[in-house]
């Protein structure tokens, strides 16, 4: 990692990261230690690259989220992008802007050690080593003012998929059926709990690496890499993407890319138990707009014989794709009584004038 500000603290930090990143895979010829990493993709494959920010105060709070969860979620966001395209992860690159106290104090280094443990535990499970990155000291949260800055983590994931075969958002066609993996709304429901419960309850809730992802969809989301790979390998999906911003917003992305209209069956949505206990209306809202479920949303031809599960993950039929017509809403929500209404994209959107 390149050396910048605060050399004494950063040397310790870099060595801490280096020691935690000794695992390699066949695709990483040279990892941390030189100016560049060297990767070797499998023959006949092409590279897929994605990047995601994890920003303190926006994606996590140090006083609410266990460090293991912050590290896990930092990597899971990028792995979910690879899963949506059916890719196999090759390596991760992590750039960190850290407050001075994280790099120079014992408690800060302990926070960093737990963050790295959460990140590596997930990376080891999916064969995705940390192969490089960068570090810098973050400025204070208010320019010119004393005090600690914020943690900013930018992660780049490199994956590989058979040349010309990666799943895309643009392949849905009228007549296709709409499916999702797993369950929806759980991440939003657990986040609401994380933001209100006591510190001790938060730690007991499963923030440590290895916690049950089904019980903790916000703290420990599980990227659907094996399911995405199965969709690609078996030629099932005509279009796919991951549910990071909420079903309503991500489905809008798919419809726009494919130039189609979608009808979502509200009664068919697989509601996570954490959302279901909130009652029918909040549960439906969480499933449609909550975000960060990191499930896969995909379309398939109506003639496809869809299995009930792929790679051990349940598959649910939640709607269908029709032709897009002038003056018609891009998406329609069909209620159990048969009535329909336009479905507006109301999930997460940065820089939106209305917070979701």
- 234-271 per-position pLDDT tens digit: 999 999 999 999 999 999 999 999 999 999 999 999 99
CA angle 281, 286, 290 (to 5 degrees): 155
Span 118-138, mean pLDDT?
Answer: 93
Give yes or no for residue 286 having a pLDDT over 90. Answer: yes
Task: Tell me the C-alpha distance between 19 and 21, whole Å.
Answer: 6
Structure tokens of 240? 């796919």
Read off the pLDDT of residues 303-321 as tens digits, 9 standing for 90 and up: 999 999 999 999 999 999 9
| 13-17, 82-86, 349-353 — most confident range | 82-86
CA-based nearest residue to 101, from 52, 146, 133:
146
Distance from C-alpha of 7 to C-alpha of 148, rounded to nearest angstrom: 18
In order of start, what are the domains of the chain with their CATH numbers? 7-162 (3.30.1330.10), 177-342 (3.90.650.10)
Sign of the Cα torsion 309, 272, 244, 153 reads: negative
pLDDT in tens, 43-75: 999 999 999 999 999 899 998 999 999 999 999
What's the rounded Cα separation, in Å, for the pair 177 and 268?
Answer: 13
Among candidate residues 247, 231, 229, the one with its CA nearest the CA of residue 239: 231
């Amino acid at each position: 990692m390149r050396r910048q500000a605060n050399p004494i603290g950063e040397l310790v930090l870099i060595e801490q990261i280096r020691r935690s990143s000794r695992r390699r895979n066949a695709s990483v010829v040279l990892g941390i230690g030189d100016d560049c990493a060297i990767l070797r993709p499998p023959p006949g494959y092409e590279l897929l690259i994605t990047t995601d920010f994890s920003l303190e105060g926006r994606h996590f709070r140090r006083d609410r989220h266990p460090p293991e969860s912050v590290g896990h979620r930092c990597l899971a966001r990028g792995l979910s992008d690879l899963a949506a395209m059916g890719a196999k992860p090759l390596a991760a690159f992590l750039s960190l802007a850290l407050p001075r106290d994280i790099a120079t104090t014992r408690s800060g280094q302990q926070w960093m050690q737990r963050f790295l443990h959460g990140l590596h535990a997930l990376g080891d499970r999916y064969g995705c080593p940390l192969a490089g990155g960068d570090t810098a000291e973050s400025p204070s949260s208010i320019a010119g003012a004393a005090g600690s800055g914020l943690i900013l983590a930018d992660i780049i994931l490199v994956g590989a998929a058979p040349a010309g075969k990666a799943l895309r958002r643009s392949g849905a066609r009228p007549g296709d059926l709409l499916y999702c993996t797993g369950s929806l709304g759980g991440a939003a429901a657990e986040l609401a709990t994380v933001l209100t419960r006591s510190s001790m309850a938060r730690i007991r809730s499963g923030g440590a690496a290895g916690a049950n992802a089904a019980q903790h969809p916000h703290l420990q989301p599980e990227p659907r890499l094996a399911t995405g790979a199965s969709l690609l390998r078996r030629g099932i999906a005509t279009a796919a993407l991951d549910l990071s911003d909420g079903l309503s917003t991500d489905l809008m992305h798919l419809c726009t890319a494919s130039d189609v209209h979608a009808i979502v069956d509200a009664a068919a949505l697989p509601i996570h138990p954490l959302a279901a206990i909130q009652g029918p209306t909040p549960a439906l809202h969480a499933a449609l707009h909550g975000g960060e479920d990191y499930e896969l949303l995909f379309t398939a031809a109506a003639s496809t014989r869809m299995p009930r599960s792929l790679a051990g993950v349940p598959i649910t039929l939640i709607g269908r794709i029709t032709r897009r017509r002038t003056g018609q809403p891009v998406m329609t929500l069909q209620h159990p009584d048969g009535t329909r209404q336009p479905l507006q994209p109301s999930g997460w959107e940065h820089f939106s004038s209305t917070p979701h």
